[in-house]
Structure 1
Amino acid sequence: MLSHLHVKNLALIEEIEVEFGPGLNILTGETGAGKSILLGSMQLILGAKTSKNMIRENAPYALVELLFQIENEKVAQALKTLDIYPEDGQVLLSRKIMEGRSINKINGETSTVSQMKAAAACLLDIHGQHEHQSLLYQDKQLSILDAYGREKILPVKEKVQEAFRQYSACRAELKSMDMDEEQRNRELAFLEFEIKEIEKANLRPGEDEELEHIYRKMNNGKQIVDSLQIVHNLTGYEAKEGAGETVGEALRELARVKQYDPELNTLEETLTSVDGLLNDFNRELSAYLEELTFDEGEFYETERRLDLINGLKAKYGREIKDIFVYRDQQKEKLEKLHRYEENLQEQKNRLEKLEAVLLKNSNELSKIRKEYSEQLEKTVIQGLKELNFLDVNFAIDFQKKKNYTDNGLDDIQYLISTNPGESLKPLGQIVSGGELSRIMLALKAILADRDQIETLIFDEIDTGISGRTAQKVSEKMAVIGRNHQVICITHLPQIAAMADSHFEIEKHLRGTETITQIHVLQEEDSIRELARLLGGAEITPAVFENAKEMKELAQKQKNTRLK
């Protein structure tokens, strides 16, 4: 469950820390106090987009931290598949928002938004103010059914997705093969030309680098000769200023005085080595200069060959090995074109086989979905009756799509009847906003039980309801709270009265700043907040007594009938 929430520098929130408890956690407060900001902070952990406008004015960053106590083994296993391991039974998700970027961490280790989102999806489920509207879309309805029967549906759904991928790829390839005889002849001629051009060049691996070295040497031959001649003179023995002559003279001078100091023998040996090296160098340089020749015909042939190779590189690849790869690919295409009719028929046969597999898997998926839909229909009807749908009927209608998809061939629609004698019709044609909200609540409760999600968060699930219906919704929330942690933002006193933990969100003016704060309410304060929800601006003794009675009745219900 979510045990601790820490929010800092987010919109109107300067810094708040909340310790949530098990069961039903209720958050109430005046309109505009910042309840939506608090919910928004949790949605950031679920991967909601960030912007610099979220950061409190004059603050360098905004921070959201959610600490979860992992008590369910299935949740721990789900986290393990994401390579997340609770530390002392806890998982800490944090997101730090700065201008232009955000830093996400799981148990102190940096993670991506997608990793954070996947982890959060195992730990909590948030129902926003307008999420129930998504229930009108058939894709959402299908995803709910798939989530309900995920144990058996997911493996088959993955088979359908893989079969559809292969089928689509084969179909695309078959479409690309479609060409008339004139197109084939043009393609054949083009491929033969390219292959012939490459093979005629008779390229060798590494030939381009070798020729470039030779060409560079030839193209700069005169400069090489002039420079080496100078080097030969500077290091030789012929010219008086040559290094060889200079070193020889130095050796002769050392020879005159070495008899007076034995230590000079070492210096003489070193200089003798230098003289030997200079002599070897000068001899090798002379040999190099004698062999250095410039053949104009060879230079022309080298230049022409390089131009040919560079032209082929520009057309077929950056290196000779790339040209060879391209040639082999074109040969393969040519071979396929020569066997066009045969290949075309093979591809058609392959497509038929892949389609048969896709159809088989899609039908298997549809069969399993229909089995689970019967269970879901009964469970939803029971859940809706608990939410004050007195005479309700609910069904899932299956139609077949015209084309294959990676989600199978099922085109489903939720149908409902909320009055006696009324025929089943699509949700959008019958239900109001308040009814739709209750249907989503029933579905959320059903899915939470199957998925073992520990924490459910509801933002104003009470939209469009009042009176007896509100009482039924509050009872449902209390029932869900027996097996799950529920965090609910509400304006209805009937729901707030069921709280196991009651929090008030307030907005204060501090100097020129507006800040949002949250604090837990003890029983007397909780009753006073219920009175505010019941009576508005003026809380009379009668309203207070009414609130007190409501709280006592709610507690009595939780202790007896709801157990």
Structure 2
Amino acid sequence: MLYNLHVKNLALINEQEVDFENGLNIMSGETGAGKSVIIGSVNLALGAKADSGMIRTGAEYALIELTFGIKNEGQLRRLKELDIPVEDDGTLILQRKIMEGRSVCKANGETVSARQLRDLSNILINIHGQNDHQELLHKKKHLEILDDFSGEELIKLKEECSAAYSSWTEILKKLDETNLDERERERQKDLASFEYDEITEADPKEGEDEELDTKYRRMVNSRKIAEAAGIAAEVTGAGDVGESAADAIGRAVRELSSVSGYDDKARELLDQLSDIDNLLSDFRHAISSYIDELEFDPEDFANTEERLNVINHLKDKYGGSIEAVLKYRDEKEEELKKLEDLSAYREELLLDEKKLHSEVLAACKKISDLRKKNADVLSGLLKKALQDLNFIDVRFEIDVDSSEDKASANGYDDVEFMISTNPGEKIRPLEQVASGGELSRIMLAIKTVVAEKDDIDTLIFDEIDAGISGQTAWKVSEKLGILARGHQIICITHLPQIASMADTHYEIAKGTHEEDGSERTVTRIRKLSDDERASELARMLGGAQITDSTMENAREMMRQADGVKKEIA
């Protein structure tokens, strides 16, 4: 659940902190007090798009922090899959700092991306904004709701379908590539044959380019190498010069040898010098052989240069490395086989396409069968939830229309919600029937039913009461009360009927604050006592002044709501 919201320097908020409770948390206030900023700040902390215009005038940054307590094993598992750090006690603090041109997001102190925060929003909180119910007018949303209700079993079936569909479409692509006329087939065949022959005739070997390059560089620099090797040979005694290193060391060996019998230390030094003399002797033989090998052969140089040019040409043309060139040659060989007997290759593809298409249709049918099964269950639950929300004589069905021609990675179903809200009316698509107030209630019914199946503890409703009043408002209030028995609900409302059901009530108000020697407008949030709750309900009931009768009416609403809460506890 959401324990705490901390907001600093955001829009009209200077700095505010709210501790949320279990059950139904109600937020109310006058129009324009800043209620939308509260929901907006939660959305920002969960990765919504931000810009520097949101920062309070005069501040360098805006800061939003959300503190969650997570105990649900499903949520903890999904957070682990996203590599989101969670404290041992289940605490997760999300922080977003918005600055000019950029923002920094953190989870328990570790930097995360805005994308990760958006993924988190699907795990931690379900937010229903003021206009979200309008999505119900689109059939795509109906399919999404049904699939969410169908849960993990459907997810696995859709993964299987997606894999089969991907293989099928790949075969279709290959089949399309075989639709060649004779002239085009010959053109492609000639090109593939030329490229295959060019590589085959050159016959490059793996590692050959490196060997050739080393040999070529040695030949190009042979004069410099020969001069350096000659000097090294002369000064170490392999050449015809005056006293060399070998002569000097030989004389040193003789001198130490003449006295080594008199002192052990002299014998040790003689042994070391003898080793050096032997190593130098080996070096003189090695460098003499090396110099003999350095004789420059113009023909060998020309052949090496030509071969290196051939190899580099192939690498430039066919992939940048000999491995890539050889792989390209193998691909051209396969292409030639296909083009030489295109009809046989096409027949083989057609057999594969038929088999894979059958697998796709079979996977789609499994998905469709599960959707239809869950559609019956969900429609029954939604009908009952709608009746609880004052749809007295409602009929509700979920139409799942299947067509093999519409096979996709997501199945082959169209899903549409059908409803009749009045006796005698024909059941029709939701978009043709429901008003704005009805859509709000239908969305609440959906949230209520789906919430029982998912792992999300916290639900936020921003003015779910749009377009309703009177007895219907009481029914919505009761439904929120029921939903709050198993979930944390945060609800912004203008209706006293809904506010009266609060377990915890917060007032959002706009006021002034002295800052830097001038008065600044600020939005404040505070938790209300029972007496203050009654006053707020009286304000929501209307009237220019709050009278004794209005206050009594407000207290009566609170007593009535308490009675309902006892019944559903």
TM-score when normalising by structure 1: 0.87
Q: Which residue of 2 aligns with 1:189?
A: 190
The DSSP-based 3-state class of the residue aligned with 2:104 is strand
Deviates more, 1:492-501 or 1:195-204: 195-204
Structure 1 position 140, deviation (Å): 0.4
- The aligned counterpart of 1:407 is 410
Letter in 2 for 1:221: S
Contact 1:92/1:108, CA 8 A, preserved across alignment: no
CA contact (8 A) 1:76 1:85 kept: no
CA 377–275 in structure 1, closer or farther in 2 if over 3 Å, else same: closer
Q: Which amino acid aligns with 2:40?
A: G
1:123-153 deviation line (CA, Å, top 9, x unaligned): 3311111110111110101111222233654
**Any unmatched runs of 5+ in structure 1?**
none
- Aligned residue for 1:472? 475
The percent of aligned pairs where both chains have the same amino acid is: 43
Which residue of 1 is the match for residue 529 of structure 2? Answer: 522
Alignment counterpart, residue 383 of structure 2, candidates 356, 364, 381: 381
1:558 equivalent in structure 2 = 565
Q: Tell me whether 1:141 sits opposite 2:142 in the alignment.
A: yes
2:487 is the counterpart of 1:502: no
Deviations 1:288-313 (A, max 9, x none): 33443112111111111111111111
Query: Counterparts of 2:270 and 2:558 in 1: how far apart (Å)?
Result: 110
Task: Please give the alpha-carbon distance, in whole angstroms, between the structure 1 residues aligned to 2:196 and 2:286.
Answer: 47
Return 341-350 or 130-139, whichever deviates more.
341-350
Matched, 1:334 2:336: yes
Deviation at 1:443, TM superposition (A): 0.9
What corresponds to 1:344 in structure 2?
346
- Equivalent position of 1:544 in the other structure: 551
Once the two structures are TM-superposed, the CA of residue 558 in structure 1 deviates from its matched residue by 2.6
How far apart are residue 250 of structure 1 and its match? 8.5
Instruction: Go from structure 1 to structure 2 and tell me whether the alpha carbon gap of 1:173 and 1:287 turns closer, same or farther (over 3 Å shift).
Output: closer
Q: CA offsets, 1:481-528, max 9 Å, x none?
A: 223221101111111111111011233432244443322111011111
The residue number in structure 2 matching 1:424 is 427
Question: Cα deviation per residue 1:110-132 (whole Å; 9 max; x = unaligned)?
Answer: 55555554454343311111110
Structure 1 pair 504/293, CA: closer, same or farther in 2 (3 Å)?
A: same
Mapped to 2, the partners of 1:210 and 1:498 lie a distance apart of 84
Q: Quick check: 449-458 or 3-12, which moved more?
A: 3-12
- Residue identity opposite 2:347 in structure 1: Q
Q: Which moved more, 1:4-13 or 1:217-226?
A: 4-13
Aligned to 1:214: 215
Q: CA deviation at 1:215?
A: 1.7
Deviation at 1:442, TM superposition (A): 1.0
Alpha carbons 1:3, 1:69 under 8 Å: kept: no
Quote the offset at 1:61 in angstroms: 5.7
Q: CA deviation at 1:536?
A: 6.1
- Aligned counterparts of 1:491 and 1:339: Cα–Cα separation in 2: 75
> What are the superposed Cα offsets for residues 206-233 of structure 1, whole Å, 9 maximum, x if unpaired?
2222222222222222233334444455
* Partner Cα separation in structure 2 for residue 69 and residue 320 of structure 1: 55
With over 3 angstroms needed to count, the CA separation of the structure-2 counterparts of 1:82 and 1:275, relative to structure 1, is closer
Residue ranges of structure 2 left out of the alignment (5+ in a row): none
- Could you tell me how far apart the structure 2 residues matched to 1:81 and 1:424 are? 44
Q: How far, CA to CA, are the matches of 1:288 and 1:149 in structure 2?
A: 78
Contact 2:45–2:64 (CA under 8 A) maintained in structure 1: no
User: Which residue in the other structure is 2:97 paired with?
Assistant: 97
Greater Cα offset, 320-329 or 49-58: 49-58
Mapped contact 1:462–1:492 kept (Cα < 8 A):
yes
- 8 Å contact 1:381–1:393 — kept in the other structure? yes
Distance of 2:74 and 2:326 partners within structure 1: 55
Query: Matched residue pairs, number?
Result: 560
How far apart, CA to CA, are the structure 2 residues paired with 1:170 and 1:463? 51
Mapped contact 1:46–1:121 kept (Cα < 8 A): no
Which residue type is aligned with residue 412 of structure 2? Answer: L
Secondary structure class of the residue paired with 1:456: strand
1:262 and 1:25, CA in 2 relative to 1: closer, same or farther beyond 3 A? Answer: closer
Q: For 2:87 and 2:215, how far apart are their aligned partners in 1?
A: 66
Equivalent residue for 1:292? Answer: 294
Q: 2:496 touches 2:541 (CA, 8 Å); kept in 1?
A: yes
Match of 1:48 in 2: 48
Q: Distance in 1 between matches of 2:228 and 2:45?
A: 70
Shift of residue 68, structure 1, vs aligned partner: 2.2
| Counterpart-to-counterpart distance in 1, 2:331 and 2:199 | 12
Report the counterpart of residue 131 of structure 1 in structure 2: 132
User: TM-score, structure 2 length as denominator?
Assistant: 0.86
Residues 234 and 504 (structure 1), Cα distance of their counterparts in 2 relative to 1, 3 Å cut: same
Whole-Å separation in 1 of the counterparts to 2:388 and 2:291? 104
Superposed displacement of residue 375, structure 1:
2.8
Cα-to-partner distance string for 1:412-432 (whole Å, 9 max, x where unaligned): 222222233332232222322
* CA RMSD between the two structures: 3.5
Tell me by how many angstroms 1:346 deviates. Answer: 1.8
Amino acid at match of 2:191: F
Structure 1 residues 276 and 458, CA gap change in structure 2 (3 angstroms): same
Give, in whole Å, the separation in 2 of the partners of 1:291 and 1:362: 73
